[in-house]
Amino acid sequence: MWFSILFTIHCTSYIFFVPIAICCEDVYYLWISYPHFIHGSMLQSTWKSFLEFNGGNAEKKSVFISLLSQTTLHEITDSKAVLITESQGMSSYLAGKRIDIELALSAYFKKSMRVEFIIRQRAKKKEVPLFNYEPPIEDLFTRAGLNSRYTFENFAVSTSNNVAFAAAQAVSKDPGRSYNPLFFYGGVGVGKTHLAHAAARTVLEHNQESRILFCPGDRFTNELIESIQNKTTQQFRKKYRTLHILIVDDIQFIAGKQTVQEEFFHTFNTIVGAGGQVILTSDRPPHEIKNLEDRLRSRFSGGLIVDLQPPDFELRTAILLIKAKEKNILIQMEAAKMVAEQITDTRALEGTLLSLYARTLGKKDEIDLEEIDLYFQGSNEKKLKRISPQDVLHAVCSYYGIKPTTIKGPIRSDAIAFPRQIIMYILRRELHMKYEEIALTLKRKDHTTVMYAYKKINGLCMKDPLLKDQIDRIVQSLI
């Protein structure tokens, strides 16, 4: 492939444009010699040629080349290429393939090359005048801490959760009167948070003046501590006690904290007394929450308590089909059923779906039974070997190229802290370990660090499918 390039020659009074035809492989060398002539379009052309060279046929094409096609060549020198990635997950994955990428670059440019990655910075929204402005509904969801993905429409209903679904709908139609408080409890991934968000979202859609806030139990604790330290408790109380709807996720986190329980007791009474609605979620019913004050236990039990059971086969199939529809992924019904038979954890369903989609990308229009068979290779969950905390530790450390002793050490840099948080997340999600046990395993002084890590990674997985896929692949490697 040949390119035509215009060189600008400056003289005393005239400017001449000289067209020069060069082979695409010489673009890089020409730029090295004349770096001031390179523009964004030439960087794009160079990167496009590199990708075509490495992905021109199915035998050469690999996963990391496919992901490289989603990056942008930001800068190139005679020994280094700087790539812009779209997310932390993509950057982490490609960093793990650094050697392969550098070999491919060196082979193409015929000289030793190294690669660096930077994450694209999202442009901040322009400030809009407060007067004569009605914020978009999505902005209201964000301010309330609500996830716009959680709706009643995309919630799969079955016998294991139909009572909870009906209760959430009732509260959304008549908040403060139907069931107050509404208390959901159950294991991870059964839909507690989804229903709480959906109920609040429905209220906000019908009344944008409603003051609603979704708050994890640990955040309520941290904000109260900060307000005491900064002597801003009045602002803290105004923020929470004037709400129309307060949703506290994982309310069991406030147990054992006397000052926090005292503050929440009065916050609860103020909101309910003013006709507001309180929605709570927990991994256990009120009477099983240890170190919870009796007066709070009594308040929590004064409304409707609903147990959400793990989804059965039919519900898992429905969830998988809903996720596929949301992401525009085509999957055969029988294939969806087979995945639902193999995977019983609802959060792992989405990761498996994305993994299957990545495998079929460019080969098939839809995920079929043949692809499912290849993916599972005839195994199922009943044949999984028992995974130990040390297995998880070594698998994550191997993936990120870190020593296990470093993970357990005092270093808090992002390069160490992020893999450590992923280990905490997997130990909690897959092994169902207690936060205190995880802290002890990783030699952390405070189990609240583990709580924060689990919430953080769980939130990132919801926003970043690539990171979710990375974690699922680490777990799959343990099987």
Binding site residue list for ATP: 189, 191-193
Six token digits for residue 100? 């392969």
Q: Tell me how far CA of residue 307 lies from CA of 30, 89, 162, 163, in angstroms.
A: 68, 34, 10, 9
Please state, in angstroms and rounded to a whole number, the distance separating the CA atoms of residues 356 and 184.
Answer: 32
As a whole number of angstroms, the longest Cα–Cα distance in the chain is 90
Per the annotation, binding residues are 189, 191-193
Q: 3-state SS string over 54-105?
A: HHCCCCCCCHHHHHHCCCEEEEECCCEEEEEECCHHHHHHHHHCHHHHHHHH
The β-bridge relationship of strands 245-249 and 277-282 is: parallel
Q: Can you list the alpha helix ranges (DSSP code H) found in 207-345?
A: 217-229, 233-241, 258-273, 294-300, 313-326, 333-342
Please state, in angstroms and rounded to a whole number, the distance separating the CA atoms of residues 200 and 137.
Answer: 13
Six token digits for residue 72? 């942008």
Q: For residue 416, with 0-12 CB atoms within 10 Å meaning exposed, 13-18 middle and 19 or more buried, which class applies?
A: middle
Please give the angle made by the CA atoms of 334, 384 and 353, to the nearest 5 degrees: 35
How many Cα neighbours within 13 Å face the side chain of 254? 30
> Residue 330 is which amino acid?
L
Six token digits for residue 189? 């991934």
The b-or-e profile of 136-160 (16+ CB within 10 A means b, else e) is: eeeebbeebbbbeebebeebbebeb
Please answer whether residues 167 and 182 qualify as being in contact, where contact means their C-beta atoms are separated by less than 8 angstroms: yes
The b-or-e profile of 59-85 (16+ CB within 10 A means b, else e) is: eeeeebbebbeebebbebeeeebebeb
